[in-house]
Structure 1
Amino acid sequence: MLSRLALRSRPAPSLLKASHLRQSRSLVTLSPNVLYLSSAVAEQPGRAGVVKSNTDTPLELTFARPKTIGGKGKGTTPEQLLAMAMSTSFLDAMNIAASKQGKNGSLANARVHAAAFLGHADNGHDGFALSTNILVENVDDDEVILAARELCPFSKALSEGIEVKIMKKAKTSPEDGEEEVD
């Protein structure tokens, strides 16, 4: 397993230069053709409660605040799930990119390490902030890695932004629907 310092290591110079080609930040939105939906519900008290997915393969996890933010550290954290999602999604995106480029089999020993860092927001913002790193192991092909960055929904969402709709559900009667919060 790589150390935290390895996950904070700088990308190869060619990747670092190419990864900053986009100067403006856009918002990535979905087309009407949704390919998959996953939903979940968290119960009180949030980071120290239970979360359940309501999808084709149900999953239930008990969450716990990490010791570093005042918890007991005896459960799953959202940051663990984010790092796991990023690593699997990015590896899959690299496989798709390699296939599209006719480089099947070139990623036989590829591994993707991901880290999600939780901290305080800076630059005058309130609350917490996230930072993420992806470290690709056993892949020398910058073209495949950069193409994966464009294909991976997690790297795209975290680098370009995603649409977040917050709605509330009235608790007065079961017939009431959801309404969007502005």
Structure 2
Amino acid sequence: MPIQQSDVLYTAVATAENGRDGRVATDDGRLDLVVNPPEELGGSGTGTNPEQLFAAGYSACFQGALGVVARQEKADISGSTVTAKVGLGKNGDGFGIIVEISAHIPNVDAETAGVLIKKAHEVCPYSKATRGNITVTLA
């Protein structure tokens, strides 16, 4: 179920100039980045790009969701990491993204890690937002 405006706890605001070959900054000044397409897409690759920003946000959010689930399950996820690989490719007459989420959870067995990852995928806001829209693979 979509959240209502009255339920919003925090809102991030960012403004982009010149799209993929310009600048993006947040209204609070904490983030101000040059963005350029990667060399693979004909860009200079000197700045960051939207896929890197999406991967950073998704991995951080998923790690947070993993923490929520681990507390519920009383599992030790200390030392864990989450990596998001975001791919950009052709999709019909446009472009689309694909994501692979992998987690390294050293203090639990493989079966427990799998359960935690699947449960985190159910509660992570990024996972909820992309569900049914893009392919997300869990590892």
Which range, TM-score by smaller chain? 0.7 to 0.9
Q: Which residue does 1:99 correspond to in 2?
A: 71
Length-normalised TM-score, structure 1: 0.65
Q: Which residue does 1:136 correspond to in 2?
A: 103
Q: Which residue does 1:40 correspond to in 2?
A: 14
Q: Which runs of 5+ in 2 are unaligned?
A: 134-139
Q: Deviation at 1:131?
A: 0.3
Q: Deviation at 1:144?
A: 1.7
| SS of match in other structure, 2:83 | strand
> Greater helix percent: which structure?
2
Identity %, equivalent residues: 35
2:38 aligns with one of 60, 66, 77: 66
1:1-182 alignment, distance < 5 Å: 29-31=2-4, 32-44=6-18, 46-55=19-28, 58-103=30-75, 106-121=76-91, 125-138=92-105, 139=108, 140=110, 141=112, 142-161=114-133
Length-normalised TM-score, structure 2: 0.83
> Greater strand percent: which structure?
2
Superposed CA deviations along residues 50-103 of structure 1, whole A, max 9, x for unmatched, are 111114x63110001111111111110000011111111111101101112233
| SS of match in other structure, 1:36 | coil
Q: Which runs of 5+ in 1 are unaligned?
A: 1-27, 162-182
Q: Which has the higher contact order (CA 8 A, sep 6+)?
A: 1
Runs of 4+ aligned structure 1 residues displaced above 2 Å come to: none
Query: C-alpha root-mean-square deviation of aligned residues, in Å?
Result: 1.6
